Amino acid sequence: MHEIRIAIAGVGNCASSLVQGLHYYKEVFAKGKEVIGLANPILGGYAPSDVRVVAAIDIDKRKVGRPLHEALFASPNNTKVFYNRFKYPGLKVQMGNVLDGVPGHMAAFEEKKRFSVGAKPNATHKEIVKLLETSGAEILISYLPVGSQKATEFYAECCLEAGVSLINCIPVFIVSDPAWGKRFEKAGICCVGDDIKAQVGATITHRVLMRMMHERGAKIDATYQLNTGGNTDFMNMLAHERLGSKRISKTQAVQSQLDDTPLPPDQVHIGPSDYVAWQKDNKVCFLRIEARGFGGVPLNLEARLSVEDSPNSAGEVIDAIRCCKLGRERGLAGPLTAVASYTMKHPPIQYTDYEARRLLKDFIDNGKPAKRKTRSRK
């Protein structure tokens, strides 16, 4: 069958943008319009419209039990609606297992802006495995909140049992964790992760600028990347205790571009910085790099990037999904390192973005495995 069946865990803003995009590009292709916003309009023979959502899981009472096309636009989701002419009458969002998905500090915010769990009992491991199996899902996309360590592990275990691939878009280290990677390999299932890298986001912009200065001989002394936004992702990340792996993921993504000369830890500050409600899903990144050039003369660079956060990651997820399907067709097991190095902030192996793009192209065209380079630090 020429389709890719996916399940989604976490029907938040990113899921909304992804599903809107699947239908938006279906219309663009059908009407022969110019394809804007995709690096790979067709990838391995698959168009975005070949991706079909067959199951969706959440824990919010405004989403669980509702058809997917309604849940995607329910509060507290607040991303831009760029396409809504689609329906999923037979696909209702199923209750998941809350575990550590909902942080306590959110209770201080008005309900329409935060997560709100209903009275439905948590789904068991057995129930989620059954949902994955009966829906025919081939790949589970994890869009859980940052800090959901236990919930991510719960859904990863379900994937292992159901034989479903995992695309882990969040900074909980599963695919880049050697022990988990091995488990997927042993189970004969391919996976991609961790922490999706947006199309033109703060991470790739910061990486490319740092790499350019490093390669051109400038000595980088210090850098920061401060990010603000007004979605539940940013509200969630007000809790610093949930942020450990997000900071590691974002910082390591940038430090990896400096070869063997990373900055001392107190000379680099990268992470989500504040929740500004009126920004909604608009994310603003302020970045600064201080360096010395020829003759040791100081120079510095300041940039401000403003993006709609959720659609910005959906294009990379659509590529990761189609590559994961190719991996399944080729019988590959374990982490797809080339795919992860291009699409994820914290892949099992870090490359420069130029190398990662070449490796991704090789993977798509020839199925060549990526050569090992430097393992991500945890």
The residue behind tokens 């999706």 is 196
Number of H helices, E strands in the chain: 11, 13
CA distances from 7 to 165, 228, 297 (A): 10, 29, 53
The residue behind tokens 């830890």 is 265
Among the listed residues 135, 225, 232, 376, the single contact to ligand NAD using CB under 6 A: 232
Q: Which of residues 263-282 bind ligand NAD (CB under 6 A)?
A: none
- Residue 256: which of 356, 323, 339 has the closest Cα? 356
List the structure tokens of 47. Answer: 């168009």
Compute the least distance from the CB of residue 224 to ligand NAD, in Å: 19
List the structure tokens of 142. Answer: 């994890």
Among the listed residues 21, 44, 103, 145, the single contact to ligand NAD using CB under 6 A: 145
Among the listed residues 4, 6, 8, 14, the single contact to ligand NAD using CB under 6 A: 14
Q: Which of residues 40-59 bind ligand NAD (CB under 6 A)?
A: 57-59
List the structure tokens of 4. Answer: 């890719």
Per CB under 6 A, the segment of 28-36, 309-317, 330-338, 363-371 that binds ligand NAD is 309-317
Binding status of residue 143 toward ligand NAD by CB under 6 A: yes
Residue nearest to ligand NAD as judged by C-beta position:
12
Q: Which of residues 196-215 bind ligand NAD (CB under 6 A)?
A: 196, 198, 201
Among the listed residues 4, 22, 50, 60, the single contact to ligand NAD using CB under 6 A: 60
Binding status of residue 349 toward ligand NAD by CB under 6 A: no
Among the listed residues 50, 138, 233, 319, the single contact to ligand NAD using CB under 6 A: 233
Per CB under 6 A, the segment of 159-167, 212-220, 310-318, 357-365 that binds ligand NAD is 310-318
Residues 152, 193: Cα–Cα separation, whole Å: 12
Compute the least distance from the CB of residue 80 to ligand NAD, in Å: 12
Helix boundaries (H) for the chain:
13-30, 68-71, 125-135, 149-162, 178-186, 202-215, 232-236, 244-255, 309-329, 337-343, 353-366
Q: Which is nearer to ligand NAD, 18 or 332 (CB)?
A: 18
Q: Which of residues 153-192 bind ligand NAD (CB under 6 A)?
A: 169-170
User: If DSSP states are collapsed to H, E and C, what string results for 220-276?
Assistant: EEEEEEEEEECCHHHHHCCCHHHCHHHHHHHHHHHHHHHCCCCCCHHHEEEEEEEEC
Among the listed residues 227, 313, 337, 350, the single contact to ligand NAD using CB under 6 A: 313
Binding status of residue 20 toward ligand NAD by CB under 6 A: no
Per CB under 6 A, the segment of 38-46, 177-185, 216-224, 226-234 that binds ligand NAD is 226-234
Among the listed residues 144, 164, 248, 324, the single contact to ligand NAD using CB under 6 A: 144
Q: Which of residues 63-122 bind ligand NAD (CB under 6 A)?
A: 77, 96-99, 101-102, 115
Sequence-separated (6 or more) residues with CB below 8 Å from residue 283: 201, 202, 227, 228, 229, 234, 306, 307, 308, 309, 312
Binding status of residue 194 toward ligand NAD by CB under 6 A: no
The residue behind tokens 């040791």 is 296
- Torsion, Cα 354 355 360 363, to 10 degrees, reads 150
- Strand duo 139-142 + 165-168: pairing: parallel
Among the listed residues 309, 334, 340, 343, the single contact to ligand NAD using CB under 6 A: 309
Q: Which is nearer to ligand NAD, 101 or 327 (CB)?
A: 101
Q: Decide if 218 contacts 293 (C-beta within 8 A).
A: yes
Among the listed residues 12, 48, 230, 335, the single contact to ligand NAD using CB under 6 A: 12
- Strand duo 139-142 + 268-275: pairing: unpaired
Binding status of residue 335 toward ligand NAD by CB under 6 A: no
Binding status of residue 234 toward ligand NAD by CB under 6 A: no
Residues binding ligand NAD: number (CB under 6 A): 38
What residue ranges bind ligand NAD (CB under 6 A)?
9-15, 57-60, 77, 96-99, 101-102, 115, 143-146, 148, 151, 169-170, 195-196, 198, 201, 231-233, 309-310, 312-313
